[in-house]
Amino acid sequence: MAVIVQKYGGTSVGNVERIFNVARRISQTVSAGHRVAVVVSAMGHSTDELIALAKSISASPPEREMAMLLATGEQVTIALLAMALQELGCPAVSFTGSQAGVLTDGVPLNARIEQFSALRVREALQAGRVAVVAGFQGADANAEINTLGRGGSDTTAVALAAAIDAEVCEIYTDVDGVFTADPRVVPDARKQQEITYDEMLEMASQGAKVLHPRAVECGKENNVVIHVRSSFHSEPGTLVKEETGMEKGTAISGIAWDEDQAKIAVVGVPDKPGIAALIFGAIAQGGISVDLIVQSIRREGENDILFTVHADDLDKALLILEPLTKAIGAKELYHQRDVAKISVVGAGMVHHSGVAAGMFCALASEEINIEIISTSEIRISCLIEKSRVYDAARAIHRFFKLADDVADLEKSNLAPSFTSRNNQVCRGIQ
């Protein structure tokens, strides 16, 4: 008998029929002898509808009241799911975030979980009941309702698994698991059995939308085994955990991309201390997140500063930068929409040489130009033209033979075999 946390997203509980499907799956897990705590999101588009309602009252609704409003979404789901479970003869009890003991830090719409007592959840499980907990929400020390922001329900589930010492935290989603690349783009992408937290973090941050980075971080901190799996069938998905087994040392665990990037270049910046701080300080004050940053010396006494922002933030960033670039004496402010970032991720990369070269080679074989390169210990990212990102993904996937099984993969990383297309370009790095 194991203690298991299961998390179902808004689509999985989007209507009464789907709520019953979820209830049946939970009920089966209980019948198999396990104790189950469930975390759910708001039904389907209900959060969007509540936001629209608020926006019809105020262009910028007060955040505290927005959290008060949004928290009702999950409260509806937990009540209905607990009803459905009991209708199936499976004892169940629902808890709001506050009742479950999710203590938050008081930031209304983007709270962090400070503590998760889960006292009543444990009591319910011991009494043989399924505990149904509202994701995405908690209450601070003054009983103020907070919501957790993006990835909140995933994070609630992982934090709950840590709090009740669950054997596994199952995240149910509409994909089969974590793939070496998005299977809609790379048809022979391979589902991974296991992946490390760090790899998952890079994959998630780089645009794989399966599991929110925040939940992965929470899993890593608390050593919670996360099982990303499909809500449509019972095949196993991908385990996210500290030590991966048979795939340990694999150079590349996957390819991820983000198509919503925009490039900004501040060209001909006088090479003086504090200029970069000035530029990025102003950008940060505008509430804009910067992703890749590259600074290059152009000619004596002058720099070019290149960076990327989310495409939606480009206009705002330019508004801030136009007067600023003049003030600091830069020569030109240049921007480019329609760029995408593609990344190769792998914990074993650090032990395997040639991954970066292989990636550049794969891109070159498709005649894809690289605008910016950025690397971490387990990731290499390139900014490329947006229209070529799927070609790039397929070329890299093919180059590293990610579709093959593990043994082949290992081999391919060390000695990439060439297809006819990249034969010419990549001979040099064999």
What three-state secondary structure class fits 138?
strand
52 versus 429: smaller Cβ distance to a copy of itself: 52
User: What single DSSP character describes residue 22?
Assistant: H
6 versus 98: smaller Cβ distance to a copy of itself: 98
Contacts of 286 (CB under 8 A, 6+ apart): 316, 317, 320
Amino acid identity, residue 6? Q
Instruction: Report, in Å, the least distance between residue 98 CB and a copy of itself.
Output: 7
Instruction: Report, in Å, the least distance between residue 33 CB and a copy of itself.
Output: 24
57 versus 415: smaller Cβ distance to a copy of itself: 57
Tokens matching residue 262: 């925009």
Instruction: Report, in Å, the least distance between residue 88 CB and a copy of itself.
Output: 10
Please give the residue ranges that form the binding site for a copy of itself (CB under 8 A).
16, 19-20, 50, 53-54, 56-58, 61-62, 64-66, 68-69, 71-72, 75-76, 78-80, 82-84, 86-87, 93-94, 96, 98-99, 143, 145
* Alpha-helical runs (H) found in 313-428: 314-327, 355-365, 389-399, 406-414, 420-426
Residues 425, 256, 197: CA angle, nearest 5 degrees: 125
* Alpha-helical runs (H) found in 141-235: 152-163, 197-205, 213-222
**What is the spatial distance between Cα 208 and Cα 251, in angstroms, rounded to a whole number?**
18
Instruction: Report, in Å, the least distance between residue 172 CB and a copy of itself.
Output: 20
69 versus 382: smaller Cβ distance to a copy of itself: 69
With tokens 């596994």, the residue in question is 168
Instruction: Report, in Å, the least distance between residue 120 CB and a copy of itself.
Output: 8
145 versus 378: smaller Cβ distance to a copy of itself: 145
**What is the spatial distance between Cα 125 and Cα 114, in angstroms, rounded to a whole number?**
23
46 versus 205: smaller Cβ distance to a copy of itself: 46
62 versus 270: smaller Cβ distance to a copy of itself: 62
Instruction: Report, in Å, the least distance between residue 148 CB and a copy of itself.
Output: 17
Instruction: Report, in Å, the least distance between residue 230 CB and a copy of itself.
Output: 24
1 versus 57: smaller Cβ distance to a copy of itself: 57
Cβ atoms of 7 and 172 closer than 8 Å: yes
What three-state secondary structure class fits 267?
strand
Contacts of 94 (CB under 8 A, 6+ apart): 78, 79, 81, 82, 132, 133, 134
Beta bridge partners, 179, equal 191
**What is the spatial distance between Cα 184 and Cα 236, in angstroms, rounded to a whole number?**
20
Instruction: Report, in Å, the least distance between residue 111 CB and a copy of itself.
Output: 16
